[in-house]
Amino acid sequence: MTLHHTDHRPRQLAVGPEGRGAHGALTTAPVVPAHGRRRGARSTEVRLDPASFWGRRQEVNAAATLPHCVEWMERLGWLENFDRVGRGEPTEDRPGWQFSDSEVYKLLEAVAWEQSRTGDPELEKLHGGLVARIAAAQDDDGYLGTAFGHPGLPPRYSDLSMGHELYNMGHLIQAAVARARLLGSQRAQEDQLVGVARAAADHICTEFGPEARQGICGHPEVEVALVELGRALGEPRYREQARLFLDRRGHGSLPVPALLAADYFQDDVPVRRAEVLRGHAVRALYLTAGAVDLAVDTEDEQLLEAVIGQWRRTVERRTYLTGGMGSRHQDEGFGEDFELPCDRAYCETCAGVASVMVSWRLYLSTGGVEHLDLIERTLFNVIATSAAEDGRAFFYANPLQLREEPDVQEAEGVHMRAEGGLRAPWFDVSCCPTNVARTLASLQNYVISVEEAGEAEEAGKAGAPTVSVLQYMAGEIRAELAVGHLGLRVEGDYPDQQLVRLTVTEAPPGPVRLRLRVPAWAVDARLSVTGADGIRRSRRAVRPGWAEVPTDLAPGDVLHLDLGTAPRLTWPDPRIDAVRGTVAVERGPLVLCLESTDLPEGVALEDVRIDLDQPLRAHRDGASVRLLVRPAGKPAPGRPPFGHAPPAADGEPETFEGALIPYHRWAERGPSTMRIFLPVG
Amino acid sequence: MTLHHTDHRPRQLAVGPEGRGAHGALTTAPVVPAHGRRRGARSTEVRLDPASFWGRRQEVNAAATLPHCVEWMERLGWLENFDRVGRGEPTEDRPGWQFSDSEVYKLLEAVAWEQSRTGDPELEKLHGGLVARIAAAQDDDGYLGTAFGHPGLPPRYSDLSMGHELYNMGHLIQAAVARARLLGSQRAQEDQLVGVARAAADHICTEFGPEARQGICGHPEVEVALVELGRALGEPRYREQARLFLDRRGHGSLPVPALLAADYFQDDVPVRRAEVLRGHAVRALYLTAGAVDLAVDTEDEQLLEAVIGQWRRTVERRTYLTGGMGSRHQDEGFGEDFELPCDRAYCETCAGVASVMVSWRLYLSTGGVEHLDLIERTLFNVIATSAAEDGRAFFYANPLQLREEPDVQEAEGVHMRAEGGLRAPWFDVSCCPTNVARTLASLQNYVISVEEAGEAEEAGKAGAPTVSVLQYMAGEIRAELAVGHLGLRVEGDYPDQQLVRLTVTEAPPGPVRLRLRVPAWAVDARLSVTGADGIRRSRRAVRPGWAEVPTDLAPGDVLHLDLGTAPRLTWPDPRIDAVRGTVAVERGPLVLCLESTDLPEGVALEDVRIDLDQPLRAHRDGASVRLLVRPAGKPAPGRPPFGHAPPAADGEPETFEGALIPYHRWAERGPSTMRIFLPVG
């Protein structure tokens, strides 16, 4: 790991600020709605401390993960697939799945966000080299794809259900959106990647337009991409094409592969009529992201309401404590309501990425703080869990319990399975590494939101712009407001310690409304304000939601937000059969787990219970709890594993003080078994 | 349903008794080991009462299920596939999966057992018609298959992992074994099906022999078939070929399809070294059946011990209360130890069939009564559950909990999914209906076992032959012993009532040892013996295992075996996370369940708990229990479905008397939700 950036103030980009969105400033950020009072942070506004929890991960992402992905895609021939199509060679023996092109595009998107973050000129070279190879594979009519429509391959669009052609071009377009926002709209006009994506988008509009082929792609993605490209290039046709795709979906037009059903690709019920997310989790979430973007830009309240309802039920009934989504391995899909098994939890890393995409869009459009809570939960317990410390291995699935130690040999080379318990360098289906990369590279964009004066939510405060601090990531904030800059230095070893210190480094002349998010779990939070003179001006309890800060802040003022550091028990809804009779332990935004590595010699994880009569204690960054060892008394008489009397344990249980660690750190010390929900005494 | 047989004494077959196995008599029965002291019932020895639990199902099987299967296979073109190959037509557009041939063969096997049961001459016509079409498709070198090796199809053996070619021929061979045992060895020599199967077996020995292709089939089945064909035809080469297949397995020679692993087809560890069954359940069980047959015939104690160890751990840790096997939908596979989710239980009907195959072989070879217990459990709770009352619809998966009512429209026509909750007439992968058919048609063979004099287990009783009554199915038994016949009339409405009455109808001149199985659950069983004069000779408690009966029985003597009728609670091993804090209710061999159909208006199944302070009461054929309605108190505060205090219910719960019904009868009254394990108060 190389920490080569010591100056971590937000940096002015070398590239010009020509790209101005609805809010009139450079919009280097994912998700820039055409309408709405609220915008997320621009890359120029936030810079994370490279020694902080997330800043460190960004540095590792840049230094290790990006080259790691390039290496693997080169090694496996996924990049050469473009070269071969470009040269017109037959490619019926092409390596990789039909969606391998998308990994290159997601990497390009990560590169763009990374460039917006650091301006590293090396990245421009990497970008240019990749784009040249991609561009060479593009057909004259804009079609781009290495798995169909070329010598030796099936014809274009011959398998809309599973072919992923529009999915791939969707990720190409998302990479170009990031590029366009990096360059600004003027320079984007001449950019090669943007041109390639525009040609692909035009091809899609021609091929799938209102009077053309009435098809949709089995894997949603092109919808969200087209809306965002329309935003970035000011081209309403693309948004209109996204609307067509969305409205065509849910009518059972896609042929269903064996052993699946139409809900696998959300072709069972139209988006506007669905009541909950179902089927393949990543598909459902990408589709939802596109639906929100479309609803916002077209001011389609009915569509937005429908999605919000689906989202609420999904979060309240089909989402794990970790924020993970997807209860089934079979179709990488959501389960039914309250079907949340720990051992067979799928919780694909990419579903976590997609969930953040949806939550972020919903926050921007509704302002609901619950979406920020879920983003935080998902970042700390899914995204942070997936990537190894060195940024060169990843979890694909993120189960909440592992019963048997995995075979470490499986983690070498390309991993065929996504069973969880092993971080592997690459996968046969390797969607997760590049998805983690593009998320980490754009994390700064999720740290604050801004509402300009006259756009603030509450009428009484419409006169002042509002800056909301959404996530506590140590670093520098410099919110670009019409009235000037609001600067904040964020410090503190969050989440290991839950005291966040925010120092005002710059303030505009007029009043600014500053709000700090108080997470749902922070029921004992306190906020104090100390002047530059060191004199405390106020101290008070704050409730989950928003903590308002005095509007007359001046440079040197310090805010201390104490979110509470105590580990806490978390109880599941009794309808979740899989965790009946258990509790989890959390600390701040971190879900904790018990890993077999931390058990005394000879104690099996399956025999351990938590003693609720003893208090939880903070223990480094986790918690210490009293554990009971109750070797399974067998129910008897009867044939194991069932019997006709309740199992009785022999004598008093052994007890010991057990250390729970953050879930995101499990499996770092070799093969182990693990569980989050602990049986009660 | 037509009950057209009123005379239900065992009938002498029209076909001759030329076929004599190791025990010197007609061996119309599945599984006839070359060695061993114990044999199962011949079809001539047992005839079930057609009005009894199982006799009724046999009648429905004959009258409805067999023609139903023929109709569907004709309608879908699975039979015509043979005709087209026979005519040399290109068949690249053939309907059905690559294993559809096997359904025809399993049907033929069912027909043979059914013929042995009733001698119905119409069945001979059905048989002949099907065999003629199959024979026409056989290649000159013995190869038989409609999915490979013909114009327009992939070459033979080009996909050993998933091609199922040997699997198909294995089922062909099993059908021929049943036919050969029906006809006796003399007439079998001239039989067309036997000839076809022999040619196929010879082809397999040539193609996969010691010096030939070192391959195995991705789906075990040919192994068990070849051993049995060797037995039926007295041909040791077939057994030897089975041994080769068995020994080649477990060395990773099969290419692994995406998203699976070598354990899917048991190619990860050699059979002799494996510790537990794993991967695809039906594959694992068919392989195990073949391993037992091979071990017995070759007196390979080491192999038998290995299989017994695998079986024990599988039953104690990877088997459901219902006897169902298979915890995962993804690969239709076993889970890890104690991974037994109720809602996502797969418990494929075919795995139940295969489990009976294995248990029966293990009983014959070891005499262990535990194998008979599992057979009973599986018959009543998996096999009886699958088939609808009318014999024209089936469950594919047999979950122990259903959370959401299924969409009944899915049960019309060919069912694409195996989700459980719906009995469907046919499936895209339709292995279960014909598997149920062949099992029901041969049920009589599992009712008794016989050890001839000098073969009995205990030295002191070696002078008398032993007849063991294994399963309580009302009907007539006429055990064919060297010393004469022992006749028993079995009566009683078992399992609805657990009093079984056995009347001696015929007795040989010398002493006969008669044993009655006392199931593991029958902890309060009693046996009384009453003479023909109506005077009770003895009455005593008997323990689970075997109840010995006096050896001086005479015609007219009556045995009353009272197995106890009380419903009972069943507690799971605490290591089964999925059912922590719950109990099940059983009655005799029946697992009971609570179906939403039986709940008061407005009560949701998810809110119901069982009140353990109130006694269970017998209720028709199920039980009546005190249920509490506790609408889920939400854990709070926190974001649903998780919170930081235990969920508290408001006020006193409502209570009502709830009826639990036998699990095998669920979903007969329209769409419902259901659960077997009930949360405790």
Question: Two tokens at A592?
Answer: 């904790």
Which residues touch B126 (CB under 8 Å, ≥6 apart)?
B66, B70, B111
Contacts of A342 in chain B (CB under 8 A): 577
Confidence grade of residue A409 (pLDDT, cut at 50, 70, 90): low
Contacts of A606 in chain B (CB under 8 A): 338, 575
Distance, in angstroms, between A616 CA and closest chain B CA? 13
Please say if the pLDDT value at position B241 is more than 50: yes
pLDDT-above-70 percentage for chain A? 92
Distance, in angstroms, between B278 CA and closest chain A CA? 13
pLDDT at residue B28, rounded to an integer: 76
pLDDT (tens digit, 9 = 90+) per residue, A249-306? 999 999 998 778 899 999 999 999 999 999 999 999 999 999 999 999 999 999 999 9
pLDDT (mean) for A62-69? 98
Please say if the pLDDT value at position A445 is more than 80: yes
pLDDT (tens digit, 9 = 90+) per residue, B316-364? 999 999 999 999 998 999 999 999 999 999 999 999 999 999 999 999 9
Please say if the pLDDT value at position B501 is more than 50: yes
AA letter at A517: R
Confidence grade of residue B411 (pLDDT, cut at 50, 70, 90): low
pLDDT (mean) for B52-69? 98
Provide the 8-state DSSP code for A539. E
Please say if the pLDDT value at position B675 is more than 80: yes
Which residues touch A222 (CB under 8 Å, ≥6 apart)?
A166, A167, A169, A170, A173, A204, A242, A245
Helices (H) then strands (E): counts for chain A: 16, 25
- A416 and B258 within 8 Å at the Cβ level: the answer is yes
pLDDT (mean) for A345-360? 98
Least confident of A194-198, A493-497, B442-446: A493-497
pLDDT at residue A453, rounded to an integer: 81
Distance, in angstroms, between B334 CA and closest chain A CA? 13
Least confident of A24-28, A204-208, B436-440, B542-546: A24-28
Neighbouring CB atoms inside 10 A of B131's CB total 22
Neighbouring CB atoms inside 10 A of A52's CB total 21
pLDDT (tens digit, 9 = 90+) per residue, B206-220? 999 999 999 999 999
Least confident of A483-497, A527-541, A640-654, B569-583: A640-654
Confidence grade of residue A461 (pLDDT, cut at 50, 70, 90): low
Contacts of B578 in chain A (CB under 8 A): 341, 577-578
Q: Pick the residue with more confidence: B681 or B567? A: B567
Q: Pick the residue with more confidence: A615 or A4? A: A615
Distance between CA atoms of residues A445 and A28, nearest Å? 9
CATH topology of domain B39-445: Glycosyltransferase (1.50.10)
8 A C-beta contact, residue A119 and residue A181: no
pLDDT (mean) for B42-62? 96
pLDDT at residue B417, rounded to an integer: 63
Mean pLDDT of chain B: 92
pLDDT at residue B378, rounded to an integer: 98
Q: Which of residues 252-311 of A touch B (CB under 8 A)?
A: 256, 258-261
8 A C-beta contact, residue A49 and residue A474: yes
Contacts of B417 in chain A (CB under 8 A): 259, 261
pLDDT (mean) for A443-467? 79
- Closest Cα in chain A to B97: A258
For A575, the closest of B259, B573, B632 (CB atoms) is B632
Mutate to test the interface with B, among A568, A570, A571 (most CBs of B within 10 A): A571
pLDDT at residue A6, rounded to an integer: 39
Confidence grade of residue B16 (pLDDT, cut at 50, 70, 90): very low
What does the longest C-alpha to C-alpha distance in chain A come to?
80
Please say if the pLDDT value at position B431 is more than 70: yes
Question: Pick from A307, A300, A360, A293: which is nearest to A33 by CA?
Answer: A293
Confidence grade of residue B2 (pLDDT, cut at 50, 70, 90): very low
pLDDT-above-90 percentage for chain B? 82
pLDDT at residue B650, rounded to an integer: 67
Distance between CA atoms of residues A198 and A204, nearest Å? 10
| Fold equal for A50-445 and A447-562 | no
Please say if the pLDDT value at position B9 is more than 70: no
Domain-by-domain residue ranges, chain B? 39-445, 472-562, 568-679
Mean pLDDT of chain A: 92
Q: What is the ipTM of this complex?
A: 0.91
Strand ranges inside A77-165, DSSP E = none
Please say if the pLDDT value at position A530 is more than 60: yes
CATH topology of domain A50-445: Glycosyltransferase (1.50.10)
Question: Pick from A232, A193, A28: which is nearest to A105 by CA?
Answer: A193
CATH topology of domain A447-562: Immunoglobulin-like (2.60.40)
A551 to each of A465, A523, A562, B34, B267, how far by Cα in Å? 10, 24, 20, 93, 69
Mutate to test the interface with A, among B427, B613, B639, B677 (most CBs of A within 10 A): B639
CATH topology of domain B472-562: Immunoglobulin-like (2.60.40)
Confidence grade of residue B412 (pLDDT, cut at 50, 70, 90): low
